[in-house]
């Protein structure tokens, strides 16, 4: 495997499982010192131990991505230890409730988890990315529901769609400081969260709904977390030095239909 992140520092917020875990592994395998940040401190520690066991560099960070104090603490520690940050990836997200009858409490929670975490993660980490000498990269994970409407959860399309627009804005803001910003938009991915997207309606037959949706994907299957990680690694690397402000579907052709 190439070592595109040798001597570089990465932080993955939401790195404790699924796509985030795969992204941590990929960046570490390519040479990065990865700060594995997750609300679940035990999960962050497990991923860190996996990476260390493979001879790569990582450390666990227990971080609530909706807490500004926690995010500031994360970046303070990175700054004290490294003085800079090259790769910042935000993987934090949750499936929204189905339909239009969304309580104010659920609405706020979805905004906090899917939008607030992305905005403050990027903006509070910005000064460290400026110290990366033109090598700074911000990546986000949104969803194909950010590119096409979700008839199942309009609030999910709302919150993930916001990430696409925010990415474009951050690309313009960061250009003068050598900081790029891009977003991946996965379709169905084989993670523990996948069944939650199909079980939001009471009495839903999750297996049938999942099967029907996956059958509609032109390539005929869900993505693997490692396939998302490979795209994130490309976008964060010098191979994508002229790529900024883009939303990349990683969906087996779903939005091309």
Catalytic annotation, residues: 156
Helix (H) or strand (E) holding 131: none
CA distance 21 to 215: 26
SS3 state at 150: coil
CA distance 183 to 171: 10
CA distance 47 to 237: 22
Interacting residues of 120 by C-beta distance below 8 A, sequence separation 6+: 68, 71
Residue 58 tokens read as: 């990582």
Interacting residues of 223 by C-beta distance below 8 A, sequence separation 6+: 186, 187, 188, 189, 190, 250, 251, 252
In sequence order, the β-bridge partners of residue 35 are 11, 59
Backbone torsions φ then ψ of 222, nearest 5 degrees: -80, 155
Interacting residues of 176 by C-beta distance below 8 A, sequence separation 6+: none
SS3 state at 168: helix
């Amino acid at each position: 495997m190439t070592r595109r992140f040798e001597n570089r520092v990465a932080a993955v917020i939401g790195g404790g499982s699924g796509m985030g875990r795969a992204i941590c592994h990929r960046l570490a395998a390519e040479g990065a010192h990865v700060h594995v940040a997750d609300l679940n401190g035990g999960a962050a520690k497990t991923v860190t131990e996996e990476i260390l066991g493979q001879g790569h560099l990582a450390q666990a960070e227990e971080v609530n991505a909706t807490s500004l104090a926690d995010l500031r603490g994360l970046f303070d520690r990175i700054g004290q230890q490294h003085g800079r940050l090259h790769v910042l990836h935000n993987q934090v997200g949750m499936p929204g409730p189905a339909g239009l009858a969304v309580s104010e409490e659920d609405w706020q929670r979805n905004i906090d988890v899917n939008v607030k975490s992305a905005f403050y993660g990027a903006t509070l980490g910005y000064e460290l990315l400026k110290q990366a000498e033109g090598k700074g990269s911000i990546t986000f994970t949104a969803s194909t529901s950010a590119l096409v409407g979700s008839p199942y959860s309009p609030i999910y399309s709302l919150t993930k769609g916001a990430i696409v627009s925010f990415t474009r804005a951050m690309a313009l803001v960061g250009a003068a400081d050598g900081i790029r910003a891009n977003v991946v938009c996965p379709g169905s991915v084989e993670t523990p969260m996948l069944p939650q997207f199909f079980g939001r309606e009471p009495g839903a037959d999750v297996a049938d709904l999942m099967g029907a949706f996956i059958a509609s994907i032109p390539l005929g299957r869900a993505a693997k977390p490692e396939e998302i990680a490979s795209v994130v690694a490309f976008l964060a690397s010098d191979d994508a030095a002229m790529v900024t402000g883009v939303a990349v579907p990683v969906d087996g052709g779903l939005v091309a239909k």
